[in-house]
Every structure is written in structure tokens, then in C-alpha cells.
Amino acid sequence: MSRLKIIRNVIVIPERCKGCGYCIEFCPRKVLVFSENFNERGNHYPIPKYINNCIGCKFCQNICPDFAIYLEETEKVEVS
Amino acid sequence: MKESIKHLTNHERKHPLDSYLRKGMIPHIWCPGCGNGVILNCFLQALKELHFNLDNLVVVSGIGCMGRISGYINADAFHTTHGRAIPFALGVKLAKPELKVVVFGGDGDLLAIGANHLIQAARRNIELTVILSNNFNYGMTGGQCGPTTPLNAVTTTSPYGNVEHPFNAVYLAAGSGATYVARWTAYHVRNLVDSIKKALLKKGFSFIEVISPCPEIYGRHTKHMNAVEMMKWLKQASIIQNKIDPIKAEITQNIIVVGEFVDKEKPEYTDLIWGKIGKVERTYHKE
Amino acid sequence: MKKPDVLTGEYFVQGNFALAEGAIAAGCRFYSAYPITPASSIAERMALRMPQVGGIFIQLEDEISSLMSVIGASWAGVKAMTATSGPGLSLMVESIGLAIMTETPCVIADMMRGGPSTGQPTKPSQQDVLQVRWAAHGDYEIITLAPYSVQEMFDLTIKAFNLAEKFRVPCFILADEIIAHTREKLVIPEPEKIKTVDRKKPKVPPEEYLPFKPDEDLVPPMSCFGEGYRFYATGLTHDESGHPDMSAKTQRELTSRLCEKIRKNKKEIITVEKYFLDDAETVIIAFGTPARAAKETVKIGREKGLKVGLLRLITVWPFPEEEVAKIVSEAKLIIVPEMNQGQIIREVKAASSTAPIISFPKVGEEPPTPNEILKIIEKNTS
């Protein structure tokens, strides 16, 4: 038997991030945290530390004022 | 800490809306957490979901922070003077009715210096989509009070508290004759995308007010000292009340009524004008 | 059977009628205005005529929106105009600046009445002649044509559209209440005898197109909305790509080009009428309605044996400096009749200065330095 599994990844474009924190604060599953690193602008940017919790709602992508974060979904067929 | 972003090169990290953005213009000039960026994001998302042909789109803006939005969209775009985006857009729409013309503006642009054009265009019911970013103050010039600043609010030009009553933009637009009227906040991204899609498909004057966080400028004068705090306020103060009479669409520090308030049909201005031209031309050449 | 758009024939009509028919003959298909005396009868004629020729007439909420919609229509690819009088012109001022900055071809007719303020709505004047030159803030050159007869209201309106399209600049038709309302003979020629000019279109594909990159004539080819170029235009100082750029270099280059594209083409733009000037010792310099009186003066004067002539300015802006300077240097007496307290005479005086006056323009962000000024002095006195 095989089933379809969706692999989700949240991609961040660090150099675009202005560090407002919307994606981190308003993610319903608290997937994101601030990075310890700075980008070129001197901002901490988000990283998807708890990506396994992601339900693919794209709220982070839609609320980002700076086009710095988006969801990527790939389908994977798992055979068991 | 292992960071997943490091697996991708800059070249590979391509935002799904990048092809809708004008090349070389991002990052935009707006402050961290500015609602204008969220509105731009939602607008482009709506275009994408509608599979909108960008060659048929004209974006027009006035002056102020929101005035800069026309430069960021990968379509024909024009950055006009303060308050005058609507009459410019009207000329475009009449001259080439097959184009979809969208006007963006802030509360100063559309409700102070350009307010007359807004209500006159709504009265005519011309097929334009007007998207208002309301941040309760003049952000670009440093945070002066304006036509939507709440009574008693402290700004740089109301240091002792604002003595003017604010406009209720959705009530104004609806009362002037707009055939689609909605209000959302920058927090309501999904509702906003849906409303923009409806507005873009509306045969008539559509108006969407978006309550937009201005943490860097307006936030200085309020308790919302950072972007997240300000967005939380918008989330907590909002009550969704679709279809209610816009006169009841309250907007105060504590309550922001959001929703889709008007969606009705009325003869459209461009149709009326071109219908008349066709009729006159036919009679004239028959005589 | 389709009737021709151009109403070829002979008429006895008002100047405003001739202006409206001239606009239609030039290809104008968008007219937007706000009622104002003495320009209202242009709107009334256009309201009747525009739909007959498949064009748009609209009356908007004020003169600001009228000119803004004209600019919008022009960018949608349609030849467009508005008409007004002094108070309306004052309201249009900011939009005129936008049209100049974004190089929008359009025509603005100003039927001058007495001012300031509401002034004399039903009386003629020439009090706006400097206002049309310097209406908007900033540095620029503008084109203004001054008809003096009903026939010229027709002819110069066509020329105004042609110059506006060719040089991508708002072009003024500057007349007054008398010419607007006077009835006299108008001859509208056959359509094929009317020369019209259309703006240059880009010859490169959208990915290579820079909307404000000029050709050799300093005028950039113009794409319009819906043609797939996805251009961006702004009233902000912009580079050739149209993107805002606040650098001194870009400000200097842009304002220089906005001026130079007119200055370099003065020969083509400027027309004057020389009437009995060959041996004239007394020269009258006039435009518009006073030129009618001046012409009569010359006739009467000549009958009396006076060596009097007329230089009639058909193009008022750019000012025909060379023509005026030549006349002034040869004449013994210059008379400048105009219906104002003395406006165009300033230009006549400026053109006839004997000591060289050197312009040192510098724009952007750095003010002129003492050394720069000193260098100019040394260069011109050594």
C-alpha cells in the first residue's frame, strides 16, 4: 500500500527580511523562531525551527510585508 | 543551530509572487511591519489566484507611503500627484475600457486631498478598484493627524490631542454610491485576498479599506510600540460583521468592524458613456 | 455611409467652435473639462461632437480632475485636451507639472479673462501669459501658441496637438474672451490637407524598453497602457528606466533634457508673423487680440507715411528671442500693447539687452560655489 505524503518546507529569503516578527508571532503552530544570525540589514530573520508542526496554511507567506518567506510543498509517495 | 535556508542559494529562493513584482524594486521603501507591504502581498496573491493577465492591468497611485506601491507591481503603473490618482485612473479607464484599473492610496491621499474625487467616482459608479490603506496618520511626512485620526489622538500636529472627528471611509464610499465596499485589517490576509478578487471582478466602483499598522510612525504616539503589538491590536479589536449597514461599521480604538458591507449592481459609467457614443455615432452617420 | 470626422467647408462661427473642430481634426478623442466662462462653449461643442466622432466628452468635478483625466487618457494612447480660463488654470497648476515631468502629450486651452481671482469672467485679458509659462514649480520649457483669429483657433489647435505629440509636452493654446466669442469666417480644409503628428512608439521589445531613454531629438518613444511594456512613470525625479532616483546627477540630466528638447527645436516650434518690418523704424510687438489692433495701426500708419511694422508672436513660449532681438536692435521705437499691466514686455526687454547676460544654471543638490562663479567671470572677461 502506498500513500501520498506532503513534505512542507518554509523558505526564508533573509536579505529581504526587515524583522517585523509577524510570521513568528501569528503562525498558528509556532513553527518559526528568530535566527541568532543577522542579515545584511542587521535584522534577525525567521527560521522554521519546528517545521514538523507546519500545517501548510501559508499565513506566514501572506502576512509578510516584505516577500521574505514562503511555503514550499512537495508530494512524496511513500510505499509501506 | 542548523538552518534549513542554508540549503538553498539566493538564486534558488524564489518567492511565488516574484514574477508579479517589478524587477529590482524589492526591498521596498516601507518600514518594518508596514501594512502596505501586506496589502501589496495580498493584492498580488489575488492576481495570482485569478490568473490575471498583468498586461491588462494598470496600477495608479497618489502621494504618500502608499503612493509608492505602483512602482513595485510588474504591470503598467503610474505614480501621480497627491490625491489625484482617481481622476487619472478615470481617464485611463474611459479611454481604454478593456483595461482593469486599480487605484491605491492612503487615508491622507484618498480621504483628505483627494476625497472629492473618491466620492465623485463612487457616485459615477466607474469600474475602478480603489484600495485604501488607512493607518490613521500621515506616515511619509512624519506622523501628522489626518482625516481618519481618532478624536483626542496625539500626533505631531495634534500634540494636545486631535480635535477633529474622523471619517468612516466605508460609510462614505457606500453613501456615495460604491457598488462593492469592504473593510479588513492587515491581519485578515485571507479575507482581504478574497475581497480583492471580488473587487477586481466587479463591474462597478469597488472600494476596500484596509486598516494598516504603522508601527514606526503612528505607533510612536500609541501604546503599540512595535509591529507585533500593533498587529495584535488589529486582531483583537476586529469583529467580522458581513453585510451590515456601513453606518454601523464602527471604527474606534477598541472595536474595528470588518467585513464585506456592500455588493450590489448598478449601471456602470464606462458602459453608459460608450453605449451613448455608439448610439450617437450610429444615428449621426445615418442622417 | 460614414460621415467624415472633419467638417470640411466654410463657416461663420465663434473662436471656441473653431478650436473644438481643430481639436477633432487633429485627432483629439478625449475632452474633459469643468464649466468656466469664457471656455464653456468649447465644452458644449465637444459634448455634441465627440460622440459623433467616437470620442469621449466628460465633465468632471473640477479643473484638477479634468486635466488629470486628460493625462490618464493620453497615457492610454488617446489624444486628449482640456480648456479653461484663469481660475481653472490656477487649479490645474500641479497637474501641469506632472504632465511636464512625465512627458505627457496633451493640450490645454486657456481663454484668458480678467483677474486676479474671479476677476472679470466675461471680459478679455492677457493676464495669464506668464502664468502659462511658469505655472508649475520646477524647471522646464513649455510650448504656447497664441491665435489671433477664429481661423487660427482652428489651425493652431492642430499645431498644438502636433507639437505636444512630437515633443511629449503639454501645449497651451492661449487666447482670450474676444477670440473665444468673436464670430468670423472659418475655412475647414479637406481632411487629407490636414497634417497630423502622432507620438513616437518604442521600437524595442518590452524587456529592452527604457520609458525615459531619449532618442537623438531628446524625446523618448512612448509606450501606452495595455501595450505590454509594463512601464512605470512617476512625478518623482526618475532615471531612464522611470524609477525614482534622488541623485543630483539624475535631477540635472532630467531637467536639462526637459528644457533642451524644446530649446533645441525652437526653429521648428517658433512661428512669428512679420508685417511691414523690412523698413520699419517703429515696431509693434503683440500677440492675440492686441495684434489685430496693431495690424490696423500699421495699415493706418503706413497710409500716413509712418515707417511702422508689426512683429506678431504666434508662438509665445518658447519666447522668440532671436526674432525679437533682431527687430529690437534695428528699430528706433518698440511698442508692446498687451491686455495686462505689462508682462510680455519683460521678455522683450530681456531679449534686447545689450550687455551679455550669462546664465549659470545648476541643479540637483549642490548650490553654486564661489569658484564656479569666478571661473565664469574670468572666462568671459579675459
pLDDT tens, C140-156? 999 999 999 999 999 99
Backbone angles phi, psi at A66, to 5 degrees: -120, 10
Domain boundaries, chain C: 9-193, 273-381
Q: What is the CATH number of domain C273-381?
A: 3.40.50.920
pLDDT value of position B9: 60
- How confident is the model at residue B6, as a pLDDT? 46
Using a CB–CB cutoff of 8 Å, tell me whether C102 touches chain B: yes
Q: Which of C100-104, C289-293, C372-376 has the lowest mean pLDDT?
A: C372-376
d(CA C24, CA C49): 8
| Cis previous bond, B27, omega within 30 | yes
C-alpha dist (Å) from residue C236 to C96, C214, C255: 14, 18, 12
- pLDDT band, residue C273 (cuts 50/70/90): very high
Does residue B4 lie within any of the structural domains?
Answer: no
Does residue C255 sit in helix, strand or coil? helix
Kindly report, residue by residue over C30-89, the tens digit of the pLDDT.
Answer: 999 999 999 999 999 999 999 999 999 999 999 999 999 999 999 999 999 999 999 999
Which of residues 112 through 151 in chain B touch A, CB cutoff 8 A?
none
| Cβ contacts of A13 on chain B, cutoff 8 Å | 10, 13, 15
C9-193 and C273-381 share one fold:
yes
The whole-angstrom separation of Cα B129 and Cα B113 is: 19
- The residue of chain C nearest to residue B70, with distances taken between CA atoms, is C232
Chains that touch A (3 or more CB pairs under 8 A): B
**Which among B194, B236, B237, B206 is positioned nearest to B42, based on CA atoms?**
B194
- Residue A77: what pLDDT? 78
C/B Cβ contact: 3+ pairs below 8 Å: yes
Residues of C (191-210) whose Cβ lies below 8 Å from B: none
| C373 pLDDT higher than 90 | no
Instruction: From first to last of the 287 residues of chain B, give the pLDDT tens digit.
Output: 444 444 566 557 799 999 999 998 999 999 999 999 999 999 999 999 999 999 999 999 999 999 999 999 999 999 999 999 999 999 999 999 999 999 999 999 999 999 999 999 999 999 999 999 999 999 999 999 999 999 999 999 999 999 999 999 999 999 999 999 999 999 999 999 999 999 999 999 999 999 999 999 999 887 767 999 999 999 999 999 999 999 999 999 899 999 999 999 999 999 999 999 999 999 998 87
Please report whether residue B21 resides in a domain. no
C-alpha to C-alpha distance for C91 and B87, rounded to whole angstroms:
14
Q: Is C287 on the interface with B (CB under 8 A)?
A: no
pLDDT at B83: 98
Crossing angle of helices B269-286 and B85-95, in 10° steps, is: 40
CB atoms within 10 A of CB C299: 14
Phi, psi angles (nearest 5°) of residue A17 = -75, 135
CATH 3.40.47.10 for domain C9-193, yes or no, is no
Question: Per the CB < 8 Å rule, is B27 touching A21?
Answer: no
Interface contact A14, partner B, CB < 8 A: yes
Q: What range defines the domain where residue B249 resides? A: 28-274
Please give the single-letter amino acid code of residue B68: R
**A67:B17 CB<8 A:** yes
- Return the C-alpha cell found at C84: 479653461
Torsion A78-B2-B5-B9 (CA) sign: negative
Residue B72 lies in a domain: yes
pLDDT value at residue A80: 65
Name every residue whose Cβ is closer than 8 Å to that of residue B132 and which is 6 or more positions away in sequence.
B105, B106, B107, B110, B111, B169, B207, B208, B209, B210
Strand partners, C46: none
Q: What is the ipTM of this complex?
A: 0.96
Rounded alpha-carbon distances, angstroms, from residue A6 to A52, A61, A72, A75, A76: 11, 18, 10, 5, 6
Number of domains composing chain B: 1
Cell, residue A37: 544570525
Asked whether residue B19 is assigned to any structural domain, the reply reads: no
pLDDT in tens, C59-68: 999 999 999 9
CA geometry: angle A42, A46, A51, nearest 5 deg: 160
**CATH of residue B228:** 3.40.50.970
Over the range B154-170, which residues count as b (16 or more CB within 10 Å of their CB) and which as e?
bbeebeeebeeebbbbb
Tell whether C138 is within 8 A of chain B (Cβ).
no
- From chain C, the residues in CB contact with B140 under 8 A are none
Contact C73 B91 (CB under 8 A): yes
So what's the pLDDT on residue B5? 45
Alpha carbon distance C127, B143 (integer Å): 40
Helix (H), strand (E) at residue C284: strand C282-286
Which cell numbers in the block locate residue C170? 503639454
Q: Which residue has the higher pLDDT, C2 or B147?
A: B147
| Closest C-alpha among C100, C146, C145 to residue C259 | C100
Instruction: Please tell me which of the candidates B60, B89, B281 has its beta carbon nearest to residue C52.
Output: B281
